[in-house]
Structures are given as structure tokens and as C-alpha cells.
Amino acid sequence: MNPLITDFARTEQRTPVIVALDFADADSTLAFVRRLEPSLCQLKIGKELFTASGRSLAESLINQGFKLFLDLKYHDIPNTVAQACRVAADMGVWMVDVHASGGRRMMEAAAEAVANSVQKPLLIGVTVLTSMAKEDLAELGIGISIEEQVLRLAKLVQSSGLDGVVCSAHEAAPLRDALGQEFALVTPGIRLDTAGNKDDQRRIMTPAQALAAGSTYLVMGRPVTQAADPVAVLREVNTLAAEMV
Ligand code: C5P
């Protein structure tokens, strides 16, 4: 049993879902979010929306009671990343991520920067982008398979003191085995029905498959944002997750 999932049963936050708010601007984002409530899901904003609408939108979502994943995938020298993570923590974000390929010193600096925050955010490492193929790694001088590189970076993320990684749900089972039960696995590429529309995702899993493989959090964009009834989709996934506890 995944203890982080068990945690949902003990606390009022009973959802593994992080809704990816891949909207172009604050108005369309806020119009969508008005249909939700914080007990149904966490929210994620990424580079496009943050660049367009920035801190005020992030704060507005946090002030509405939502747990916010600031998905800006920081990658820079240790001091710069640490300061950015500290600002994110002070803003009250629930989760923030950095690129594992920034290395141990960068990740340790980030972990230290948020360690004493009033509300310490979950600090997550991005391993290998799912858009990368073996040839892309080879071009960067990395001559091992994607799976080996993901595992190598995930172990580095863990030993640098971070709380988890973003990974494909297809990598969740071996990572769960290698990294233990307490490490958060944040998995995108989720579709309600694997026979249905994949959009631009190549390898997908259903929420049940991803949770069974060891995912802690399910990042879901279009299956929720483009659903006729987003709340019904979230309730369905949350019920399923509760039944798997
Ligand atoms: O609409 P969909 O469910 O495919 O959205 C998935 C979200 O997860 C998007 O915000 C996407 O950028 C993000 N993501 C991903 N694959 C990764 C990392 C993040 O799809 N490896």
C-alpha cells in the first residue's frame, strides 16, 4: 500500500489528482477553477500560464484554498535555484520542481532553502523529459537507456534530500521498488480510457493502473479540463483512489 495514498484517507485532502491548468490566460483559468473546489484536486500551473499571468494568479489560486504545484522546472546554478524555491515557498506553493540534471549541489541548495519555510513545499525532481528518446540522450553524451538514466537521476534526487520525482507512470513500479514507499511519484500521461483519445501523449495509463503501479499523484490536464463535467471526472478518480487504499 502506498502510504502517501493512505495519508489521503487520514486527512481532509482525499485526492491524488493534480489538475494541469494548461490555459493561456488568467481569465480562462479562473473561469474553469470556479467550477472546482479544493477538496477535489490540487492544481498545477506551468511555464506558459505563469509567464502570462504570474504571481498574482498563483496567489489567487492559493488564496482560494487550493494546493498549488508551481511546475517551473528550475535549472540553474545552486544559488539561483535555491532563491527561486525560497520565493515559491514563501508564496505558499504546495509543490515545486527542479531539473535533476542540475545536479546534487543544486538540489541540496534547493532543499536547504525550503527546509525552514512555514509551510515547506514538496520539492520534486524532474528526471528525463518524456519527450526525450534514447537518441536525444546519446546526442547529449549519455550512452545508457532512458530507464537507466531515469533511475540514476531519481536516486540522485532522493539522496539530495528531495521529496519525489516527476516520472512516467510506466516507470513508477521500478522506481517505487528502488526508492521506497515514502518517495512521491508524480505521474502525467493519465487517460480515463486507454483505448480513447491520447492527445499528444505517447504512453498513457488509466488512474487505476497508475495508482496500482505506485504513483502518488496523478497529473491530469485535458481529461479534466476538457471534460463536459470536470467535477464528475474528479469524483470518479477520487472514489477509485479511496477504494484502493
Ligand atoms: O492534458 P494532459 O493530461 O496530457 O496534461 C499533462 C500535463 O502534464 C501537462 O501540463 C504537461 O505539460 C505535463 N507533463 C507531461 N509529461 C511530462 C511532464 C509534464 O505531460 N513528462
pTM greater than 0.85 (yes/no)? yes
Catalytic site includes residue 44: no
Query: Is any atom of ligand 1 closer than 6 Å to the C-beta of 48?
Result: no
Encode pLDDT of 53-88 as tens digits. Answer: 989 999 999 999 999 999 999 999 999 999 999 999
Is residue 18 within a helix (H) or strand (E), and if so which, with residue range?
Answer: strand 17-20
Ligand 1 binding pocket includes 188 (Cβ within 6 Å)? yes
**For 132-172, how does the pLDDT look when each residue is reduced to its tens digit (9 = 90+)?**
889 999 999 999 999 999 999 999 999 999 999 999 999 99
- Give nearest CA residue, ligand 1 atom 8: 188
Instruction: Give buried/exposed letters for 150-186 (b at 16+ CB in 10 A, else e).
Output: bbebbbbbbebebbbbbbbbbbbebbbeebeeebbbb
Q: Which amino acid is at 29?
A: T
Residue 191 to residue 206: CA distance in whole angstroms = 5
Supply the range of the domain harboring residue 113: 3-244
**Cβ neighbours of 30 (radius 10 Å):** 16
pLDDT in tens, 193-221: 877 777 777 778 999 999 999 999 999 99
Torsion over CA: 34, 168, 54, 24 (sign)? negative
Domain count, the chain: 1
The CATH number that applies at residue 172 is: 3.20.20.70
Tell me how far the alpha carbon of residue 219 lies from the centroid of ligand 1, in angstroms.
Answer: 7
